[in-house]
Chains A and B, each alone.
Chain A
Amino acid sequence: MTPHSAYARFAFSLCFASEVIFSSMNSISPLKKTKLNQVHKQLGAKMAEFGGWEMPIEYSGIIHEHLAVRNSAGLFDISHMGEIIIRGPESLGFLQKVTCNDVSRLKDGQVQYSALLFPNGTFVDDILVHRLSPDDYFVCVNASNTDRDFKWICEQNHFDAEVQDASDQYTQLAIQGPQAGKILQKLVNIDLTLIKYYWFQRGKVNGVESIISRTGYTGEDGFEIYFSPEFSKQIWTHLLERGTAEGLLPVGLGARNTLRLEAKMALYGHEISEEVAPWEADLAWIVKMEKGEFIGRTALLQLQQRGIDKQLVGFEMEGKGIARDGYPVLIDGHSVGRVTSGGPAPYLRKNLGLAYVPITHARVGTPLDIQIRSNPVRARIVETPFYKRKK
């Protein structure tokens, strides 16, 4: 039994044969490790490469972990994510130029989902912008893009703003699920109910100065916390202990991926890349054309006037088979694109996927076929997000 080579190229991790994982990397530089690397191994996690980091993929099983997050809570080490600080008198003007969302709408303590775009309107990366004060911002970026994003931001900086890659200064944990707030509340000195969705506060977690943000990548309520790496083990361990009664489990990147797929949240390199623009990626809501000039705006305006050819859609398998990243999508027997993310959805108990299809065939209800190995298998475009939590 060996991993399917066609899939291995697209899979974000394949635990079976370590040589597959490592040989698929472009660079020979050693993998980066978070401060919790040993802790994960002691917990029995399967580790694999992701974005240049050795990360826990699963502890007790992806399905089990996925369901824990939907039903109670899960704890994730996401310290591989990058943090870039932008501050100074012209930091707002600079962020308005280099991101596509309207940063001027942010108040202190508010978070905004946004993107860095190339002049041609396609994605450099998707990001979270946190406003600490009117001239101090904290930007969370994807692990594999941290160096590239930092370089890109620095190159665009013709403003009186200071840009700093602070990724080494933070451990980032996520605690997600309906019980996340209750568990985290036991260890913090602020009232978490006062933090609204997509807002953050500074507070102490287990006595350690942290940024506590009500954000996440799972489709559940929950928090992402940032603090100094030296306290990683202490906070991780305490959270796990204090969450036992509520069913808190450590959760790896395997379930993080299935959770975000159910919630139809984009993953860089899959739904968003330098091949697609926000109009196509169903992310028009993070583009504010009326805010004024920003990098990519001219191209987006042209694309808007011309009209897009393709659009991201969600589909559900009707035939027997699992769509996987990279599998061809067929309409009337002709290949029209590839699956950007696909797999089983453990909570919904369906096989789901995301793909770009021609705009003429993007309507909900449209039948597609997914080429699974040698067979086309029937799927249908459905409403997204596939999963939406009850409020």
Chain B
Amino acid sequence: MKFPEDCLFSKQHEWVKVNGDTATVGITDYAQKELGDVVFVELPKVGDTFETNEPFGNVESVKAVSEVFCPVAGEVLEVNQELVNTPEWVNTDPYGDDWFIKLKVTNPEELKELFNSQEYEEYVAEESAE
């Protein structure tokens, strides 16, 4: 399972890549494995704003629907329309093509609350063991 070092991670299994005050958000390799075959992705509109941990979309596998949460508060700058058309990317390229949205981060201080790669790996190990 991959835990890229250039990402930050949320407890709800979203990843964040930060570039200045822009955050790209997707769901992690662990999340896609747990979900199984992803067949549908529902994304917000550009300009929508979300609070930290507010659901911003849905991802559906063959058998389940899961909400996707905003790891940091912000305004949606861009959504990955190609992902909507090819939801299987969530399974095949969890840290590349599978990005969901790009956000303008409201408060960059909040990013410090997120896990780094090593912390997230430990967190996943604990969750898997339960």
Contacts and interface: CB of A to CB of B under 8 A. Distances in A.
A13 B61 CA distance: 12
Interface stretch (B64-72, B101-109, B110-118): B64-72
Contact of B63 (A13, A64, A321): A13
B36 A4 contact: no
Nearest to A345: B62
Which secondary structure dominates chain B's binding surface?
Answer: strand
A319 interface: no
B5 interface: no
A323 to B, nearest CB: 11
Residue from the set A11, A344, A346 with the largest chain B CB neighbour count within 10 Å: A344
Contact of A2 (B39, B61, B66): B66
B34 A15 contact: yes
Most chain A C-beta atoms within 10 Å of own C-beta, residue among B12, B39, B61, B62: B62
Contacts of B65: 3-4, 7, 322, 324
Contact of B62 (A2, A4, A18, A254): A254
A254 B14 contact: no
A254 B34 CA distance: 13
Interface stretch (A27-35, A55-63, A135-143): A55-63
Contact of B36 (A1, A3, A15, A373): A15
Given A18-B130, A373-B58, A1 B64 contact: no
Contacts of B67: 1-2, 4
Q: For the complex, would chain A's binding face be called helix, strand, loop or mixed by DSSP majority?
A: mixed
Interface in A4-51: 4, 7-8, 11-16, 18-19, 46
B97 interface: no
A3 B58 contact: no
A1 B64 CA distance: 12
A58 B36 contact: yes
Interface in B34-58: 34-37, 39-40, 58
Contacts of A12: 63
A258 interface: yes
B58 A62 contact: no
B58 A63 contact: no
Contacts of A343: 62-63
B34 A16 contact: yes
Given A15-B34, A63-B37, A3 B66 contact: yes
Contacts of B66: 1-4, 16
B62 A344 contact: yes
Nearest to A13: B63
Given A1-B13, A46-B36, A58-B36, A16 B64 contact: yes
B78 interface: no
A1 B62 contact: no
A258 B36 CA distance: 14
Contacts of B34: 15-16
B36 A254 contact: yes
Interface in B1-15: 12-14
A3 B58 CA distance: 10
Contacts of A346: 62
Contact of A62 (B12, B31, B63, B68): B63
Contacts of A46: 36
Interface string A319-344: 00110100000000000000000011
B60 interface: yes
Contacts of A8: 64
A57 B63 CA distance: 10
Contacts of B61: 62
12 contacts: A1-B14, A1-B69, A4-B66, A11-B63, A14-B63, A19-B130, A62-B61, A62-B62, A63-B62, A257-B63, A343-B63, A344-B40
Given A4-B67, A14-B64, A254-B36, 15 more contacts: A1-B35, A2-B69, A8-B64, A11-B63, A15-B34, A15-B64, A16-B64, A61-B37, A62-B36, A62-B62, A63-B62, A257-B63, A322-B39, A344-B40, A344-B62
Interface of A: 1-4, 7-8, 11-16, 18-19, 46, 57-58, 61-64, 254, 257-258, 321-322, 324, 343-344, 346, 373
